[in-house]
Structure 1
Amino acid sequence: MRLEPTAPYRSVQGALRVLETVARHTGGIGDAGLARETGLGPERLAALLRMLVRESYVERLADGAYVTGEALAGLGAARGHERALRDQLQRTLDRLRDSVGAAVYLTRYVDGEVTVTQYADGPATPKVNEWVDFRVSAHATAAGKSLLTQLDHQGRRDHLARHRPARLTSHTITSDKLLLSRLEAQPPTVPVLDLQEYAVGTVCAAVPITAGASVGSLALSLPVEHAHRLREAAETLNRNAAPVLLSLAI
């Protein structure tokens, strides 16, 4: 299940170049002008513009020119930025839930603790029953392990010293040594998995979402009877992580 972790980050870099260019042209700028000023190839530029229009960062006028959109104005405002960011992320997570056909979660590592900041679920995509507080079960969840892989070795040891790995299911790793070894060996090109380690009947996958100094992850959960979909869902999650990263970067 090898993924390309740089793809979402490359998309965000390109998207920011497009947004900066569009913002400079208050009267609008067309495809040819954007290609010339950003230096992006036609296929990549077209894909970025589709994403930016879908996320309401840019708007396409009747004459084909692009101008800044409602979402960018909201995130750029001095007042109400946090509310605008939360609303924008929720719309993105809702679309991502529908794309992957699973409940999705945005988590962050804040002040030494795992925090689920937002999630999107639905009748056909139920979220995980938090039967054990996620703050004390990072060792067993895909999201938690994804966050821990982004810390340095001492940061991981510190977390495990504060939250001793408890056995939640027969699949849970409780050995500090084994867990640290697994985290150390986790390739950034492979999503972190939870195969019924947190809860019997549930499988999860997570990919890193890090903007600046903020450590985060984007995760999904599926009932175990849908475990055959986990690879495809994880790939879709990774491919579509760029809008989440972009919202956090603006």
Structure 2
Amino acid sequence: MGDRTGPTLSSVQQALRLMEAAGAHEDGAPAPQLAREAGLPRDSALHLLRALTQDGYLRELDDGVFVLGDKLYSSHQDVDGHGLLDRVRPVLASLRDEVASAAYLTFYEEGEIRIAEIVDSPKAPRVDLWVGFKDAGHATALGKCVLRELDREARAEYFSRHTLADLTPRTITHREELVRQLDSAPPAPVVMDREEYALGTVCVAVPVYGGSQMGSLGVSFRSDRMYRTGDLHRRVLAAADRVTRGLWLAD
């Protein structure tokens, strides 16, 4: 009787193993690590990774790691995007617990800045949204963060449809002054509002990106609380990076 060899994995099985390995790493993993975890030769893994990336099942980030791609992820989302929010909500919860402040996520959609998620707790209550966010983008760090990222044309179009309502004595109500503040902000992407939406509340926000969409991630806290600014900014920026990695919105 001749020698027998064990069954070999088909290319489909190999691809599934690579996707399972990539899906096990929230922040992605490089090709050699995925090959080891999938039990595949490195050359075979590289060939499949390129094919899966080209087809949209995986995505290669700038630092060379692979994460699950738009096509695979979008097939598991419902029309309201709950799958997406389920994926990024733990990041917001972790940020909330780290800084003891409510965490917020917004998206810029069809010319409007909309709140997608708020994660709070009894120890980290959300700000009272006494004015609809659609009409208060100019008065919040979350909204100003988005406005700062827009090009001149998109920003002008937004202002043409929104009045800069006077919400508190600190609210910026003159378009020229707001634009000057946005354009003169430091290079770091951190934006703040200091009691501009609600007296007694401060908010810090940074931009997040996903496919063709962008938005902002931020936290709010009482103005009488003291923070080490550098540490707070670092934590919010780190959370925004994790959210950006998890946003697989179709273009």
Give me the TM-score of the superposition, normalised by structure 1.
0.70
Which structure 2 residues correspond to residues 174-193 of structure 1 after superposition, within 5 A?
A: 174-193=173-192
Question: Which stretch of structure 1 is more off in the superposition, 202-211 or 221-230?
Answer: 221-230
* Pairing 1:168–2:167 present: yes
Determine which structure has more spread, i.e. the larger CA radius of gyration: 2
RMSD of Structure 2 on Structure 1 (CA): 2.8
The answer to whether the Cα contact below 8 Å between 2:73 and 2:248 also exists between their aligned partners in 1 is no
Cα pair distance change 1:175/1:91, threshold 3 Å: same
- Distance in 2 (alpha carbons) for counterparts of 1:72 and 1:163: 38
Paired residues for 1:1-250 under 5 Å: 15-16=27-28, 18=29, 20-25=31-36, 27-28=38-39, 76-77=72-73, 79-81=75-77, 82-229=81-228, 231-249=230-248
Cα offset, 1:84, TM superposition:
3.2
Q: Are the counterparts in 1 of residues 170 and 194 from structure 2 also a CA contact under 8 Å? A: yes
* Separation in 2, partners of 1:130, 1:88: 25
Aligned-partner Cα distance in 1 for 2:179–2:107: 20
> How far did 1:28 drift?
4.9
CA distance in 2: counterparts of 1:230 and 1:204, whole angstroms: 12
In 2, Cα distance between equivalents of 1:185 and 1:220: 22
Distance across 2 between alignment mates of 1:238 and 1:142: 14
Distance 1:128 1:118, change over 3 A: same
Q: Measured at CA, do residues 160 and 95 of structure 1 come closer, stay the same or move farther in structure 2, by a change above 3 Å?
A: same
Instruction: Return closer, same or farther for 1:98/1:28 CA change in 2, 3 Å cut-off.
Output: farther
**Counterpart residue type for residue 27 of structure 1:** A
Q: Which has the higher contact order (CA 8 A, sep 6+)?
A: 1
Q: What do the CA deviations read for 1:52-97 (whole angstroms, capped 9, x no partner)?
A: xxxxxxxxxxxxxxxx9xx969x93564234432211111211111
Runs of 4+ in 1 over 4 A off after TM superposition: 19-26
**Cα pair distance change 1:83/1:140, threshold 3 Å:** closer
1:137 deviates by 0.8
Instruction: State the Cα deviation string for residues 212-249 of structure 1 (Å, max 9, x = none).
Output: 32121111100112144555322211123222111114
Q: Which has the higher helix share?
A: 1
Alignment deviations for residues 22-69 of structure 1 (CA, whole Å, 9 cap, x no partner): 44445359xxx9xxx9xxxxxxxxxxxxxxxxxxxxxxxxxxxxxx9x
- Distance (whole Å) between structure 2 residues aligned to residue 22 and residue 78 of structure 1: 25
Aligned 8 A contact 2:92 2:239 in 1? no
List gaps (5 residues or longer) in structure 2. 1-26, 47-65
Q: Provide structure 1 residue ranges, at least 5 long, that are not aligned to the other structure.
A: 1-14, 38-67
Identity %: 34
CA distance in 2, matches of 1:233, 1:159: 30
Provide the secondary structure at the position in 1 that maps to 2:219: strand
CA distance, structure 1, for counterparts of residue 224 and residue 97 of structure 2: 18
Q: Deviations over 1:87-129 (max 9, x none)?
A: 1111121111112221111111100111111121101111111
How far, CA to CA, are the matches of 1:21 and 1:172 in structure 2?
52
